[in-house]
Amino acid sequence: MTEVAEAPGTQRAQELKRINHWINGAPVAGQSGRSGPVYNPAAGIQSGEVDFASAEEVDRAVQVANDAFPTWRAMSLSRKTEIFFRIRKLVDEHREDIAKILTAEHGKVLSDAKGEVARGLEVIEYCCGIPELLKGGFTEQASTGIDVYSIRQPLGVCAGITPFNFPAMVPMWMWAPALACGNTFVLKPSEKDPSASVYTAELLKEAGVPDGVFNVVHGDKVAVDAILEHPGIDSVSFVGSTPIARYVYETGTSHGKRVQALGGAKNHMIVLPDADIEMAADAAVSAGYGSAGERCMAVSMLVAVGDAGDELVGAIKQRLPKVKVGDGMDPDAEMGPLVTREHRDKVASYIDRGRAEGATVVTDGRESAPDGDGFFLGVTLLDDVRPGMDVYKDEIFGPVLGVTRVNTYDEAVRLVNENPYGNGVAIFTRDGGVARQFQFDVNVGMVGINVPIPVPVAYYSFGGWKNSLFGDLHVYGPEGIQFYTRGKVVTSRWPDPATSKVDLGFPQTR
Ligand code: NAD
């Protein structure tokens, strides 16, 4: 295996990499006595040990972020922009290093890991335009001699809590707009693949981000609860599973914080009988099994309308033996292992569960998993899945693709709209009129028309509806800027002192 770049802030002890917190511009060894294992999923062995923060360690990170805030906030937009261009350059130069860290701890194949970094970089690039993004409004002569203008100001100390499946990109969705808007940041990345965050911290320091502006604390529920309850934290951005997203939203808001909490998904891809079935099959395989199905925008359920089903299932089945599963550092591998042994076993258990519920197991991923100790599972295709089955309802978050069959477009839309999740959805058709009606009809935040994974570009915002997002504002793009700032409206007069008089009436706009 190619040697993986060592994340700064780590040290080797007994062959295990020790992953420390990053506070005030330097690695800080954990003091809590609590830590957790980090694995190399392709080898199936523990590769590191990550410190878990106590409430006191979270408090220390919040204190330094709070201390750094006044200076960072006051730094001119042109200087912040210079720093952001340097961040952009450094992340670009270190794409490969970051991607190797992702592959080593998450397991995704290197090409996919590079894709993750590229999409995160787009958000950093968007933030290089922060002077334009923070422009306010101005109204001259709103009343006689009075001008009114609006400005947006940072919140203070913002926190981010992120999931295992995008260890570099999802944090970039948060810290980039938060810092660009003048906030300071405390990141609590997933404890399963924490090294990319520490590596990012090192790059930000090199780019000129002052110490204390960006901090990383590792850990589990103890660290998350400390963030949610800390009076010095002004906002929390969360991405992860729906039950934790709901908990984070409810707990964070009850402690007076602004919260955006993105949850899980069950993304449907509708295939109409007029669709190009070969193209739909390519899309279904790519979007269903890419990153081993561990994407919140993965397609997990195909809805075949009318007589599309048999041809679609046949076309997908034909493609599955060609999917190359292997170590993410192997350039030939298209799909890597799952993140942990427990998760692999849980995903695999859905194959028998689906069969017991009446689904047809067209391809069983357990039969094509590579040998060895790695957390591998091959690709699984389940046909004849029906609403009500666990394999239909649950977010499996692995390489298991289900097919359900309906008779009409209306039935397909009803399925999507009745689903408690509303992250992504796609429709495959040659009929522009139906596609246009679909975008109008579906209660889902991100819609693809002949595009299976419609992750918005960085100058739009990302977010689902229903149980896929708790809060009002989506992440990155214009809504990200709104989330990390608050509005202020100034009414100003520079009067001629000669016109001054006492007037107890309510101010009139004339
Ligand atoms: P997770 O909910 O288990 O963990 C997310 C974060 O919450 C981690 O930092 C973790 O340490 C913390 N956490 C876990 N359990 C907690 C608890 N009991 N109390 C407090 N904090 C806790 O999610 P995951 O398994 O890391 O990631 C996969 C999930 O994330 C999937 O459901 C996926 O759909 C979702 N996801 C959603 C999006 C989106 O944009 N909507 C994007 C990526 C991932």
Encode 223-280 in three state secondary structure: HHHHHHHCCCCCEEEEECCHHHHHHHHHHHHHCCCEEEEECCCCEEEEECCCCCHHHH
- CB count, 10 Å around CB of 95? 17
- What count of Cα atoms within 13 Å lies in the side-chain half-sphere of residue 141? 1
In a mutational test of the pocket of ligand 1, which residue from 51, 192, 228, 239 has the highest number of ligand atoms less than 8 Å from its CB?
239
429 vs 448: CA distance, rounded Å: 11
Whole-number Å distance, alpha carbon 24 to ligand 1 midpoint, is 26
Say what the pTM is: 0.96
Q: Which domains are assigned to the chain?
A: 13-263+468-489 (3.40.605.10), 267-449 (3.40.309.10)
Q: What is the pLDDT along the chain (510 residues), one digit of tens a residue?
A: 233 444 444 444 447 999 999 999 999 999 999 999 999 999 999 999 999 999 999 999 999 999 999 999 999 999 999 999 999 999 999 999 999 999 999 999 999 999 999 999 999 999 999 999 999 999 999 999 999 999 999 999 999 999 999 999 999 999 999 999 999 999 999 999 999 999 999 999 999 999 999 999 999 999 999 999 999 999 999 999 999 999 999 999 999 999 999 999 999 999 999 999 999 999 999 999 999 999 999 999 999 999 999 999 999 999 999 999 999 999 999 999 999 999 999 999 999 999 999 999 999 999 999 999 999 999 999 999 999 999 999 999 999 999 999 999 999 999 999 999 999 999 999 999 999 999 999 999 999 999 999 999 999 999 999 999 999 999 999 999 999 999 999 999 997 888 888 989 998 877
> Is 296 annotated in the active site?
yes
- 79 CB-near residues (< 8 Å, 6+ apart): none
> pLDDT digits over 413-422, tens only?
999 999 999 9
Spatial CA neighbour of 46 closest among 1, 104, 100, 3: 104
Q: Which residue has the CA at smallest separation from atom 17 of ligand 1?
A: 221
Distance (Å) from CA 406 to ligand 1 centroid: 32
Q: 220 near 250, Cβ under 8 Å?
A: no
CA 32 vs CA 51, 54, 55, 223: distances in Å: 8, 6, 9, 11
Q: Say how many Å lie between the CA of residue 244 and the centre of ligand 1.
A: 7
SS3 285: helix
Alpha-carbon torsion, ordered 476, 481, 483, 489, to 10 deg: -170
Contacts of 22 (CB under 8 A, 6+ apart): 9, 28, 197, 198, 201, 202, 214, 215, 216
Helix axis angle, 110-127 to 77-93, nearest 10°: 170
Residue in 224, 238, 384 with CA at minimum distance from that of residue 310 = 384
Question: Strand 214-216 to strand 184-188: parallel, antiparallel, or no bridges (unpaired)?
Answer: parallel
Separation between Cα atoms, residue 329 and residue 350, nearest integer Å: 28
Q: Whose C-alpha lies nearest to ligand 1, atom 28?
A: 240
Phi, psi at residue 359, to the nearest 5°? -75, 155
